[in-house]
Amino acid sequence: MKGRYEDENLKWIPALIALVIVIPFMLKGMTFSYKYYLYILNTVGIYIILTVGLDILSGYTGLISLGHAGFMAIGAYSSAILVDQVGLPFGLSLIISPIIAGLFGFIIGFPALRISGMYLGLTTMGFGFIIRRLIIALREWTQGSGGLVVSSPELFGFTIKGDWANYFLVWTFAVLTIVASRRMMKSKIGRAFMAIRDSEQAAQASGINIAQYKMMSFFISGVFAGLAGVLMAHTNHFISTDHFDNMLSIYFIIMVLVGGIGTIYGAVLGTIFIVLLENLIVPIIEKGLHEMFQVKAGDIESLIFGLIMFLFIIFQPTGLYGMWLKIRIYWKLFPFNPKQRFT
Amino acid sequence: MKRINAIIIISITLVMFGCDGSAGSPGITDNEILIGNVQDLSGPMKELGQIIPAGSNLYFDHVNNNGGVHGRKIRMLVEDAQYNPQKTVAAVKKLIEKEQVFCLYNVIGTSPTEAIRPLLAESEIPLIAPATQSGTMSDMSRPAAEYIFHTDTGYDIQSGILIEYAKGMDENAVIGVIYQDDDYGENVLKGVEESEAEMGITVQKESFQRGATDFAGQVMNMMKGGCTHVIIAGIVKEPIIIMKTAEAMGYAPQFMGISPTMDHRVSLAAGAAGEGFISANFAQLWNSDYDVPKLYRELCERADVPEAMMGMYHYYGFSTAIVLVEGLKRAGKNPTRKKLIRGMETFNNWDGAGTQPLTYNRNDHAGAESVILVQILDGVQTTITDWLK
C-alpha cells in the first residue's frame, strides 16, 4: 500500500525547521511591521496543525469533514475553561483539551461507520452547528455568544506573550505535528487508513478493522484540531462562537484541496498558500482594482477563493504538491520528457 | 553655574517633551492624521459596512476642506473583516503595525471589538466609537477598557428603558422580547434580566439565529403568552418580518425595538404593519431640525449623496466622526495617543455631535446612557420623548 505521493521524504524537515527559525529574524531585519507578518505566520502555523489532521481524515482515510471548526472550538473552549476557570496548568491543558476534542471526533466517528460522501459531509457540518449552539447554551462556563477572555500560555514558569514568543510556541507544535503525522502515515495505521480510502471491501478482506480505524482517524483528526484550538485561544486571548463559523471549516477543506489532498506536505503548502493569499495578495488585488478602475472590490475574496478552487479541481486536482512533484520529475528527466505525461 | 544648571534642566525638559511629541505619534505627519477603521464590507453586515464609513468620510471631507484639525487632514483607512473576530484581529494588526495608524475608530461588531482588546492594550492605541452598542464596551472592569470610548447607549440600558416605558404605558403590560441569539442579544438579555429583578416581573423570551427569515414560531409564542408589548432585538429585516407576520396572524401588540431597528427602511418596508412601532435611538433623528442633522443634510446635498444611502447608519458614521474630530482637536497641536485619550476624557456633557450629551472621564468611558424614543406615526418616524435614562 502506497501513499498518493511516494516522494514525501524527510529531507524537507530540517530545511523547514531552519526556515522556521530564520524567518522571524529575517522579518525583523527587513521591516518595521514584522509583528503583523509574524501574526499571519502564527495563523498559518495554527491552521497547519488543523489541516494536517483534516488531511489524515479526508485525504488518507477518505472521510470528508465540513465541521472541523467545531473540533477547533472544543479544543479552544476546553482549554480556556480548564486553565482559567478550573485552574489547571497550561501544559496539562495542552494534553487534555485536544483529547477532549478527539473524543468528540470519536463520537462523530460512529455515524461515519454507516454513511459516507455527501451525507457524512452534511453530518459533520451539522456537528459544527451543534457545537456553536452548545457553547451558547453552556453560558455559565462559556459566557454564551459574548465570548471568553483567555489568558496567556505559561510553560515551565515562563509566560508566553506577544507575537514573537507565540510564533515559536505555535511553530514548535506545527513542526511536531508535521513530523508525527508523516511518521504515522508511513506506519501500519496510515496504511490501514489508505486501504480504507481506496476500497473498504478490500481493506476488510485484508483483515483491517474498518470501524476501529475510521474512528481512530476521527479521533486523531479531532486531537489535531483541538490542539490548534488550544493554541489559537491562548495566543489570541479571546474566543467567541463567531471565531468558529462553518465558513472556516470550508476554508480548511479548500486549503487541503489546493495543497494536494492525501499528502501531509500538501496540506502544509495549501494552508500557507491560502492564508498568505487572503492576507497579503487579495488586499493588493483589491487595491489595484480600486486604483486602476475605481471599482470597489467588495466580495472579491470569495470570488478569488471560488475561482482558485474551481481551477485547481479542473486543471490541477493533485494540488500544489502534485504540481511540485511534476515539475521535479520534469527537470529530472529533461530533455527526455515523455510529452503526454506533463500535459 | 546656575545658568548651566538651568540650561541642563531646560534641555532635559525639552528632550522629555520632544519624546512625547514626536516619537510616540505613529500616523501623524505635518499635514495628515491617519486613522484606521475596520468594517464588514463583504460579510453578513456588509450593507452597514459600506454606509457607515461613507457617513464618516462625509464629515472628514468637510473638516479637511476647512483646513483639517490643527492644519492636518484626516485620512481614514478601511479594512474589511467580514464581521469575523479572527479577521478583525488580523485587520487591526495590519492597521497598527503595517499602516501605523494613529488611532482606531468605528470597529464594527461586539465580538470583533472584544477580540481586539489585547491589541489595544499591547499597542496602547485608543479606539473611538466602536460600532456596537453593547454595554460591555463601556465596562471599565474589562481588559483595555481605558482605551475604548463608547458613544452609544448600551443594549442592556436600552432594553431596560423600553421595559420601563412599556410599564409606564400600561401597568398591566405583559412584555416579551424576541432577540438575536448572539452577543447582541446576550447584552439585551442582560438588561431584561436586570429589569425583571428590579421590577419583579417576568419577560417572555424568544430567540432567533442571526440571518433568520422566518419568525412565525416566535410570534405565535408571543401571542400564546398574551404579550401586549413585544421588544424586538434585531436589525432591519427582523422587525419588518416579525411585524408583518404578526399582522398576518391577526396579532397586534405594541412592537418596540432596540436602536438597530430604528432604520427608516423599517417604516418604508413594514407599511401598515409597522405603524406605531417604537424604537430607541441614541442620537438625534437625522432628518430632525437640530443643528447637526441640518449640517448633515446640507453636506449630503452638496456631495450628492444618494437618497438610499442617507439615514440612521450613514448619520451614525457622520456623528461619530464629529466625536473623533473633537477628540483630535482636544489632543492638541502635537497629538499623541496618550494626549488623545486625555483629550477625550475632558468631554463633559458635550453635545456637539448630534447625539445625546457625551461625558467621559478616567473612570467612565460610557459616554452616553440615555435614548430618545421614536415612533412611526402615519408612516413617518417621529420623536415622542426627550432623552430617557
How far apart, in whole angstroms, are the C-alpha atoms of residue B106 and residue B116?
Answer: 13
Among chain A residues, CA nearest to B110: A146
pLDDT digits (tens, 9 = 90+) for A66-82: 999 999 999 999 999 99
Q: Is the CB of residue B132 less than 8 Å away from at least one CB of chain A?
A: no
Candidates B84, B183, B205, partner chain A, best to mutate (most A CBs within 10 A): B183
- Higher-confidence residue of B323 and B109: namely B323
Stretch B89-118: mean pLDDT, rounded? 94
- Mutation for B interface: A142, A235, A238, most B CBs within 10 A: A238
In which band, very low, low, confident or very high, does the pLDDT at B355 lie, cut at 50, 70 and 90?
A: confident
Q: Which of B38, B95, B114, B309 to mutate to test the interface with A (most CBs of A within 10 A)?
A: B114
- The mean pLDDT value for B280-303 works out to 92
- Domain range annotation of chain B: 12-154+288-367, 155-281
The pLDDT of residue B304 is above 50: yes
Phi then psi dihedrals of residue B281, to 5 deg: -145, 135
Confidence of residue A50 (pLDDT cuts 50, 70, 90): very high
B159 close to A (CB below 8 A): no
Residue type, B92: V
Distances (CA, A) of B384 to A329, B43, B59, B165, B292: 77, 35, 28, 12, 19
With CA atoms as reference, the chain B residue closest to A235 would be B118
Cβ atoms of residues B36 and B99 within 8 Å: yes
Average pLDDT over residues A309-313: 85
Residue B13 pLDDT: 44
Has domain B155-281 been given CATH number 1.20.1090.10?
no
pLDDT tier for residue A341 given thresholds of 50, 70 and 90: low
Distance from CA of B227 to the nearest CA of A (A): 25
Per-residue pLDDT at A26:
93
Closest CA to A6 of A333, A322, A337: A322
Condensed to tens digits (0 to 9), the pLDDT of residues A177-228 reads 999 999 999 999 999 999 999 999 999 999 999 999 999 999 999 999 999 9
Of all residues in chain B, what percent are helix, strand and coil, respectively (each to 5)?
45, 20, 35
What would the mean pLDDT of A326-339 be, rounded to a whole number?
Answer: 77
> What mean pLDDT comes out for the span B221-226?
96
Look up the ipTM and state it: 0.85
User: In angstroms, rounded to a whole number, what is the distance separating the alpha carbons of residues B222 and A2?
Assistant: 62
**What cell does A260 get?**
494536494
Chain B interface test: which of A41, A139, A145, A167 (most B C-beta within 10 Å): A145
| Chain A residues whose beta carbon lies within 8 Å of the beta carbon of residue B115 | 147, 236, 238, 240, 243
- Tell me what pLDDT residue A294 has: 61
Residue of chain A nearest B181, judged by CA positions: A145
Cβ of A242 and B41 within 8 Å? no
d(CA B137, CA B154): 8
Phi, psi dihedral angles at B232 (to 5 degrees): -105, 120
Angle between helices A210-236 and A188-198 (to 10 degrees): 110
Instruction: Tell whether B29 lies on the interface with A, counting CB pairs under 8 A.
Output: no
Give the start-to-end residue ranges of the domains of chain A.
12-246
Residues of A with CB under 8 A from a CB of B: 32-36, 39-40, 43, 136, 139, 144-147, 149, 162, 236-238, 240-243, 245, 248, 279, 296, 298-302
Q: Least CB-CB distance to A145: which of B42, B143, B183? A: B183
Helix, strand, coil % over all residues of chain A, rounded to 5: 80, 0, 20
Nearest to B42 among A162, A238, A302 (CB): A302
Listing DSSP states for A229-290 in one string gives HHHHHHHHSEE-GGGG-HHHHHHHHHHHHHH-TT-HHHHHHHHHHHHHIIIIIHHHHHHHHH
The count of CB pairs under 8 A between chains A and B is: 92
Residue B104 belongs to what H/E stretch?
strand B103-105
| Euclidean distance between CA atoms B69 and B58, whole angstroms | 15
Phi and psi based region of residue A21 (left: phi greater than 0; alpha: psi -120 to 50; beta: remaining): alpha
Nearest CA to CA, how far is A40 from chain B (Å)?
A: 7
- For residue A305, list chain B residues with Cβ-Cβ distance below 8 A: none
Considering only the beta carbons, identify the residue of B42, B93, B143 that sits closest to A36: B93
Confidence of residue B18 (pLDDT cuts 50, 70, 90): very low
Q: Which of A44-53, A112-121, B100-109 has the lowest mean pLDDT?
A: A112-121
- Strands B372-377 and B380-383, by their bridges, are antiparallel
Q: Which residue carries 399582522 as its cell?
A: B247
Supply φ then ψ for residue B108, to 5 degrees: -90, 140
For A118-154, what is each residue's pLDDT tens digit?
899 999 999 999 999 999 889 899 988 888 999 999 9
pLDDT in tens, A244-255: 988 899 999 999
Query: At residue B21, does pLDDT exceed 70?
Result: no
Kindly tell me if the per-residue pLDDT of B317 is higher than 90: yes
Average pLDDT, chain A: 89
pLDDT at B211 over 70: yes
Q: Which chain B residues are within 8 Å of A300, Cβ to Cβ?
A: 42
Any A CB within 8 A of B193 CB: no
Among A40, A147, A296, select the one facing B111 at the smallest CB separation: A147
Residues, chain A: 343
Residue of chain A whose Cα is closest to the Cα of B101: A33
CB contact under 8 A, B111 and A145: yes
Cα of A186 to nearest chain B Cα, Å: 35
* Beta carbons within 10 angstroms of residue A45's beta carbon: 27
The CATH class of the B12-154+288-367 domain is alpha beta
The DSSP secondary-structure symbol of B94 reads: I
Q: State how far the Cα of B195 lies from the Cα of B359, in Å rounded to an integer.
A: 25
Q: pLDDT per residue over A282-303, tens digit each?
A: 888 877 777 776 666 556 777 8
Whole-number mean pLDDT of chain B?
Answer: 90
Same fold for the pair B12-154+288-367 and B155-281: yes
A252 close to A50: Cβ distance less than 8 angstroms: yes
Q: How confident is the model at residue A8 (pLDDT cuts 50, 70, 90)?
A: low
Please give the Cα distance from A335 to A329 (Å, whole number). 11
* Model confidence at B251: pLDDT above 60: yes
CB contact at 8 A, B276 and B246: no
pLDDT band of A115, cuts 50, 70, 90: confident
Question: Is-contact B100 B79, C-beta < 8 A?
Answer: no
The whole-number pLDDT of residue A295 equals: 60
Average pLDDT value for residue range B29-52: 89
Q: What is the CA radius of gyration of chain B?
A: 22
Rounded mean pLDDT of A10-39? 89
Give the DSSP H or E segment for B35.
strand B32-39
Give pLDDT, residue B20: 40
pLDDT at B229: 97
When comparing pLDDT for A260 and B182, which is higher? Answer: A260
pLDDT at B2 over 90: no
Among B residues 316-345, those touching chain A with beta carbons less than 8 Å apart:
none
Residue A259 main-chain phi, psi, to 5 deg: -70, -35
Q: How many Å apart are CA B219 and CA B332, to the nearest integer?
A: 53
Contact B319, B293 (CB under 8 A): no
| Residue B256, H or E segment | strand B254-257
Identify the residue with better confidence: B321 or B135.
B321
Grid cell at residue B320: 461619530
Nearest CA in chain B to A129: B209
Model confidence band, residue A338 (pLDDT cutoffs 50, 70, 90): low
What does the alpha-carbon distance between residue B163 and residue B176 come to, in Å, rounded to a whole number?
Answer: 9
Coil, strand, or helix at residue B131?
strand
**Res B22: pLDDT:** 42
Residue entry with cell 421590577: B199
